[in-house]
Amino acid sequence: MKTYLKDYFFLTIGALIYAFAIEGFLIPSKIIDGGVTGISMILSTITSQPLGIFIVCINLPFIILALQKLGKRFVFSTFYSILIFAAGVTFFGKMFHGHCIIDNLELFLVAIFGGLILGAGVGLIIRNGASVDGTEILAIYSTKKIPFSVGEIIMFINLFIFTVAGFIYDWQHALYSIVTYFVAYKTMDIVIEGLNESKSVFVITDYSTEIGKDIMEKMDVSVTYIDAEGGYSGIKKRIVYCVISRLQVQKIKEIAKNIDPRAFIAIENVYEVEGVRVKKRKI
């Protein structure tokens, strides 16, 4: 129950932050978002009907589609987020009356700060197990039917939306919409994955025991030895594997190269680490 309450608390906060960015920054400046929200903003401009109605109505078919692919919990959380988002744009729309929250703010700053706030809101929603944009659901469903990835499908949809926005508003605002989308996308990554990005390190060497011992003693990092075999040589080797912070990357390179200048080191990004680290035994 605590987990559910926490999730829905952050879903609510995320949806309201998203709505605040839309009504407080984007709409007054004629900058649009991508996906269903962008389509809804264009239709709302053309018809002068409330934005919240379009957000709910256009997302509904995608929510029904998600039932077949993504499960009831995801669908319910997504529907809840969309309802809160629609209510939020209605509330903030009446509060701001079509005016930017900061008077006479340059379009470039609107694009940057609007994108930051928007990305933070959407990132919170995704991090807590939901979505607020039906185009992502459509993209997931379509990948088996057409030879494109989820990211490519979303990109094509958004390019179409921003092109339409260029004809309805003007091309300057359409280009600023792309800037907003890019900033929001990067902010979402930070919110979802966190700032404490870790690195996984693989060291392939003939001196695995010596390097592993030095890493544990000098860096207080636990290592794992993985048995391997050279593809060309057929020689048995042991790979030293560990997870470190990005600040420790240079140190681990120094340790490995000091012992084995020919050591092969591969470093990858790790966005989430769970589990208990094995402590050194005290003798």
The per-residue pLDDT for range 17-56, each reduced to its tens digit, is 999 999 999 999 899 998 899 999 999 999 989 999 999 9
What average pLDDT does the segment 68-80 reach?
83
Q: What is the pLDDT of residue 69?
A: 67
Share of the chain above pLDDT 90, in %: 47
**Cβ atoms 255, 214 nearer than 8 A:** yes
Q: What is the pLDDT of residue 190?
A: 81
Q: What is the pLDDT of residue 281?
A: 45
Q: Which residues pair with 241 in a beta bridge?
A: 202, 224
Taking the domains of the chain in order of start, what are their residue ranges? 2-193, 198-270
What average pLDDT does the segment 53-69 reach?
87
Q: pLDDT digit string (tens) for 149-187?
A: 666 778 888 889 999 989 988 899 999 999 998 999 888
Q: pLDDT digit string (tens) for 133-145?
A: 888 777 767 766 7
What average pLDDT does the segment 53-63 reach?
92
Whole-structure pTM value: 0.74
* Residue with the larger pLDDT of the pair 238 and 278: 238
Across all residues in the chain, what is the average pLDDT?
86
Residue 87 banded pLDDT, cuts 50, 70, 90: very high
* Residue with the larger pLDDT of the pair 222 and 70: 222
Q: Does domain 198-270 have CATH number 2.50.20.10?
A: no
Q: How many CB atoms lie within 10 A of CB 87?
A: 16
Residue 283 banded pLDDT, cuts 50, 70, 90: very low
Asked if pLDDT for residue 146 goes beyond 80, the answer is no
Q: Which of 17, 127, 22 is nearest to 77 (CA)?
A: 127
